Structure 1
Amino acid sequence: MSQDECDLPEGLIWEILLWLPGRLLLQLRTVCRSWNSLISSHEFVMHHHQRSTQPRLVYCSLESEGIDFMQCSVSSLLYNKQPTRIEPLQMKYKIFQGSCNGLLCLCEGLPYKNLTLFNPCTRWVSLIVPFEYPHGDDPHPVFCGFGYDALRNKYKFVTCSRTSITAGGLGGRAKVCSLDANPSWKTVDHPMFPYFTCCHSGTFVSGSLNWIAHDHPSKNKEDDDPFKLLEWFILTFEMETESFGRLCLPRNNHTYPGFYGEVPSLHVLKNLLSICFHPAYENTAAFTIWIMKEYGVEKSWTILLTIRFRDGIIPPNIWLEPLYISEDDILLALGKFYRGKLFAYNFRIGKVDISSNSLSIYPLSKLSNGRFFHGYHESLISCLP
């Protein structure tokens, strides 16, 4: 079939195709040359991702030899009555470092030897890029992040040391890799203040990477226990300017007792930066999710969800990791201390579903702590323009 043989206007065909799943579009590219050209165009691919209604859940399992990456449908988990079937991605021995626009960023080896981008929908794989550490040949522990520079239409990978304290004093260096047809690394300035990060992979939203961090405990020299009070904040890295910064946590909830106390966690929910507080083992406390309605504006922090432990909806000893929130306000979360079990919580009616078959992943339905989950939206994007 050619475009001339189709009675529908080109604009209407465009609109119809935009709402179809990515996997179906891959098949429709073979219908005719004009459809292949349309579906393969950069403009269509980007518009399709913006309208994507196909949330997916990718996870790696440590149950078998090595690390196996798999994926499944979020909608199937939440709404189907039968256990959800998984799809193996055949990407073993990789470490997940984040996602952006439907692309997964994977590192290989410990210490890291190289990094790769992978699109689970199209099965597109980028060039393998040799890893470069911030301190040269010294594989010092690092935290990393993956995101998109919209100004230059480039995907970037950032890595830096866990602390900015170096032998020469405060400050240090970070490495940024531009992932395109000719990948290249460069060194950028590190923030000039002492801190430690508490999360390994950065959370990308609104053009910036974000990590939970705290000020260096040595600032509390007047206290016998330097870890008694820690000042938590969000360390940021802006992709376009390649500069670091910091954001305050909501409502001054940034001071917590105990170095090994409950660390807040960062997520992307409803396409907004969100932070989760879970003071475990306190029946009078609550599991709380905040969202930043306008990125970078600290006054825009707003409570999205609160579950009080005393109400008995969830016990206080279960650490919830939010994964996805649907349009009808159903939260999909992982109960980290409940043997790795998935939760679905409808916060319109205050009901949690813990044991439904729909929250089982087949054939890996056994309870396990050896899985790591991440939500993303299906897309046709590759990192090459």
Structure 2
Amino acid sequence: MKKAIHIDSPIPFSSSLFDNSISLYGSCDGLILCVTYPPRILLLLNPSTREQITLPHSPFHDTTYHVSYGFGYNASTDDYNIVAISCTYAYIIVSVCVYTQKTNSWRIIRDSPLSMVSDAPGTLFNGVLHWFAYENMSTVIAFHLWEEKFQNFPLPCFEAPSIPRFIGVLRGCLCITVGEPDTNSTEFWVMKEYGKRESWTKVATCPHYLTKPLNFTNNDEIQFLMDETTPLRSYNLKNNKYGSRMIPYAYGSLELLQYLEAEICLESIVSPNRHCFTPIVIDD
């Protein structure tokens, strides 16, 4: 990603449907999973084609419990899946359900994680979704889309006050960022052998306490939000230099005050309606 440009949102925020919050729960092949609450409504959206589809209600539609989501492509079935994990506010797992695009339906599965996952979207890597454990930030919870099975594996050992913050993919490996409040910096760790704790390796340190890394490029450049009130920036982990800001502070007379949600989404013509359900195309 070399630059960011402003486009009109394909989601009709003026509609009463979107009067409340909307969150982005990951992107895959140009599709973005959006969740509104309340009411709890899920949409698949392609910003490039401006096509979107409202998904059928999940078993958690009317629940007041906490729900975490993950979204990704399942190569074994050539299908897109959404995983929803519900728990009580005491962080007791209630159930896990999976949406399959081919059937346009949800089903509850038997397997469940040992603890509730974090609020962040599940990170997709090699057909597996990953979250930090909510109550134990020293553990990653993984869900294999093709087996529909959960797996836990530990993070590297950190000393307080180090804080694991985000999961991504860097240099073809699963990656985590670790915030260091004492030095106002962020460390980057990669798991060189998937699933093996001893293979975690620290590969770089950025001299800034990053709010949200968005993208890791092939030349070891990270693109991130500095914080909630500053522009999208880039930082090269090889030469330890910042790039120029990628989003201006204002678009004409509209001051850009805050970045609340952001996802990297590749341009594609993949339809959220591949299996001929009723789509919605937003007119300009």
Q: TM-score band, normalised by the shorter chain?
A: 0.7 to 0.9
What displacement does 1:246 show? 0.9
Q: Which amino acid aligns with 1:138?
A: T
SS of structure 2 residue aligned to 1:302: strand
Report if aligned partners of 2:96, 2:108 keep a CA contact under 8 Å in 1. yes
Q: Which amino acid aligns with 2:236?
A: N
* Residue-pair matches, total: 265
Greater helix percent: which structure? 1
1:27-106 to 2 correspondences below 5 Å: 74-76=1-3, 84-91=4-11, 92=13, 93=18, 94-106=22-34
Higher Cα radius of gyration: 1
Question: Whole-Å Cα distance in 1 between the matches of residues 88 and 200 of structure 2?
Answer: 27
Q: Which amino acid aligns with 1:268?
A: V
1:148-187 to 2 correspondences below 5 Å: 148-162=73-87, 172-180=94-102, 182-187=103-108
Report the equivalent of 2:222: 331
Q: Which amino acid aligns with 2:248?
A: S
Q: Which amino acid aligns with 2:31?
A: L
Report if aligned partners of 1:86, 1:361 keep a CA contact under 8 Å in 2. no
SS of structure 2 residue aligned to 1:87: coil
What displacement does 1:292 show? 2.6
What displacement does 1:179 show? 1.6
Question: TM-score if structure 2 supplies the norm length?
Answer: 0.79
Q: Which amino acid aligns with 2:52?
A: V
Q: Which amino acid aligns with 2:59?
A: E
The answer to whether the aligner puts 1:237 opposite 2:147 as a matched pair is no
Question: Whole-Å Cα distance in 2 between the matches of residues 152 and 374 of structure 1?
Answer: 25
1:11-30 to 2 correspondences below 5 Å: none
What displacement does 1:304 show? 3.0
Question: Whole-Å Cα distance in 1 between the matches of residues 238 and 126 of structure 2?
Answer: 27
Q: Cα distance 1:174–1:374, how it changes in 2: closer, same or farther (>3 A)?
A: same
What displacement does 1:85 show? 3.2
Unpaired runs of 5+ residues, structure 2, are: 276-284
SS of structure 1 residue aligned to 2:271: coil
What displacement does 1:154 show? 1.3
Question: TM-score if structure 1 supplies the norm length?
Answer: 0.60
What displacement does 1:328 show? 3.2
Q: Cα distance 1:379–1:291, how it changes in 2: closer, same or farther (>3 A)?
A: farther
Report the equivalent of 1:129: 56
Kindly report the root-mean-square deviation, in angstroms, between the aligned alpha carbons of the 2 structures. 3.0
Question: Whole-Å Cα distance in 2 between the matches of residues 119 and 236 of structure 1?
Answer: 26
Report the equivalent of 2:261: 372
Residue of 34, 46, 50 corresponding to 1:119: 46
Report the equivalent of 1:266: 167
Report if aligned partners of 1:214, 1:232 keep a CA contact under 8 Å in 2. no
Q: Cα distance 1:197–1:120, how it changes in 2: closer, same or farther (>3 A)?
A: same
Unpaired runs of 5+ residues, structure 1, are: 1-73, 77-83, 216-229
Q: Residue deviations 1:54-77, cap 9 Å, x none? A: xxxxxxxxxxxxxxxxxxxx312x
The answer to whether the aligner puts 1:188 opposite 2:188 as a matched pair is no
Question: Whole-Å Cα distance in 2 between the matches of residues 247 and 239 of structure 1?
Answer: 17
Q: Which amino acid aligns with 2:42?
A: L
The answer to whether the aligner puts 1:200 opposite 2:120 as a matched pair is yes
Q: Cα distance 1:232–1:368, how it changes in 2: closer, same or farther (>3 A)?
A: farther
Question: Whole-Å Cα distance in 1 between the matches of residues 223 and 31 of structure 2?
Answer: 21
Q: Residue deviations 1:158-195, cap 9 Å, x none? A: 111246978xxx76421111122x311111124363x3
Q: Which amino acid aligns with 1:107?
A: V
